Amino acid sequence: MLELGKAGALGVGRGVLPLLSGGAVVGTLQASNWKEQATAVIGDRVWQYSKRKGELRARWAVEPEDSARLRARQASSWKGTWVADLEGTRVDVEVLSYWKGTHRFVSGGQQVAHSASTGGWSPRPTLTATPGMPLGHQIFLLWLELVISRRNTAAMTAATGVAVVGGSS
């Protein structure tokens, strides 16, 4: 299982999230709080994650800005589904539980991963993938989970604010 650790914990810098597999740090993620972008460091490889033209993308930092090795786009806002392209492999992202905010990742009719969260006051996403899925792909899907979670939280906050303002007359 891959999970996001607490920011600044386990010897990583302030504002940096350790990426944990079996309790061991396998990389780091520095995600922007204001934009859908991040930098992931996995071994000696640096990945740049960003949003471009409505699509979430990942590329190696040494590649041109307009390139993308990994991509994800929302297929349906009503159903909460996404479609990812992991270096030529299509992965459909389906809602597993609306209540828990979890997803299943399906490729070729087979589930290749699923998400969960650590729970508690500040839940952090986790990802369990089938053996053999490259770590870079797993971390991109974990970042996608983080983005979806933040979008859902923002939507709920906006809806609650409208309900409170609308009901206070």
Closest CA relative to residue 3, chosen from 146, 130, 112: 146
AA identity, residue 65: E
d(CA 75, CA 49): 19
Q: What's the rounded mean pLDDT across residues 127-138?
A: 97
pLDDT value at position 39? Answer: 97
Residue 68 CB contacts under 8 Å (≥ 6 apart), including other chains? 52, 55, 57, 58, 59
Between residues 149 and 139, the one the model is more confident about: 139
What separation, in Å, do the N-terminal and C-terminal C-alpha atoms of the chain show?
49
Whether the per-residue pLDDT at 65 is higher than 80: the answer is yes
> pLDDT tens digit string along 71-117?
999 999 889 899 999 999 999 999 999 888 899 999 999 999 999 98
Tell me: the pLDDT tens digits for 31-63?
Answer: 988 889 999 999 999 999 999 999 999 999 999
